[in-house]
A = this chain, B = another copy of it.
Amino acid sequence: MSAPTMQQVARRANVALSTVSYALNGTRPVSEETRLRIRQAMADLGYQPNALARGLASKRSRIIALLFPALPRGFGATELEFVTGAAEAAQEHAYHLVLWPMEIHAVGELQQLIRQNLVDGVLVMEVRLRDERIDLLRHISVPFSMIGRPTDASDLSFADIDWEQTTHDAVTYLVGLGHRHVVFLNHTEDAFNAGYGPAVRAAATFDQVAREAGLMPISRFCGDTALAGQEVFEELVTAHPELTAMVTINERATVGVMQGAAMHGWRIPDDLSVISVASSARVAEMTLPPLTSLTPPSSELGHLGVETLIGQLEEETSELVQRLLPCRLVIRGSTGPSPDPARPRPRVP
């Protein structure tokens, strides 16, 4: 009834316990013939190695942890794709992925979990520009890799969205449509100040690209709610009536902007173009019109993050892996040519 052990396999195949182990792991050459006998015995018994025993003896559990912030700006479809991608990648490499939801400053808790020696390594998601978790992991020298990256990541492995490239693509696309008055809609100022990478990097790039294109770099922070988005729309078109396009990285606020526009009789994209950066297809297809967006490679990031980590765990030569993936431009209905300045747009009181 209870699971067959390696000892039982060994007896059935008439070999020593260790030979079974060697055959199983390929740790030592085993003659073709005995290998076959062992295989057969395993099959007969339906043997599966005991993960705990293996881990204890080898000091390698083949379990990795995914560390994610407990209550971030509100997780959405993008994050789930990421998690799923990571879990799949782990499975493909015969690892297990455990979930460690954790408040971002709960470093003590993190340390305790690590000390349990359950996991071989940690994949940290939503890394901040300054991030205590990273400091800790570095300090206790646990293998880890990151999605996102702190300010100085020169000696660390990571996979991240290429915010610079992606923001550049967004602006360039709008400029190509003739827009000269583009604003950038960011996350909240708090997120920015907390060193949330996307908020900081995209903003900086926007400023730079806009300037290079000869535009005024106007931007706004915005709460992560539809209501906040509506309010920002009203404020913006009042303060900058010449505005014809927006680049947004704040999904929920983006929806608010579109609602605000609709409520004031502005038509998208005729009166205003909107391009949403790093917004999932799921959400982009949900608005009316559907959002032109730069779709994040969530699942790829998950895979990459896990594979980078496993690479570190298995290679002797643990070389750095630093990958920046761009978002993919998907043109939907929310962007169009810059409106004719002669044609008046509905007044926003």
Contacts and interface: CB of A to CB of B under 8 A. Distances in A.
A134 interface: no
Contacts of A214: none
Contact of A117 (B3, B46, B84, B115): B3
Interface in A67-91: 70, 74-77, 79-81, 83-84, 87-88, 90-91
Contacts of A288: 258-259, 262, 288
Interface residues of A, number: 51
A87 B116 contact: no
Contact of A52 (B61, B74, B90, B262): B61
A289 to B, nearest CB: 9
Contacts of A49: 116
A318 interface: no
A77 B83 CA distance: 12
B52 A285 contact: no
A226 interface: yes
B98 A282 contact: no
Given A76-B77, A79-B80, A117-B51, A226 B286 contact: yes
A70 B252 CA distance: 27
Interface in A104-146: 112, 115-118
20 contacts: A3-B117, A48-B112, A48-B116, A48-B117, A50-B116, A51-B116, A52-B117, A53-B56, A56-B56, A70-B88, A75-B80, A75-B84, A76-B282, A77-B77, A79-B80, A91-B101, A96-B98, A97-B99, A286-B286, A286-B287
Interface of A: 3, 46, 48-53, 55-56, 61, 63, 70, 74-77, 79-81, 83-84, 87-88, 90-91, 96-101, 112, 115-118, 225-226, 252, 255, 258-259, 262, 282-283, 285-288, 290
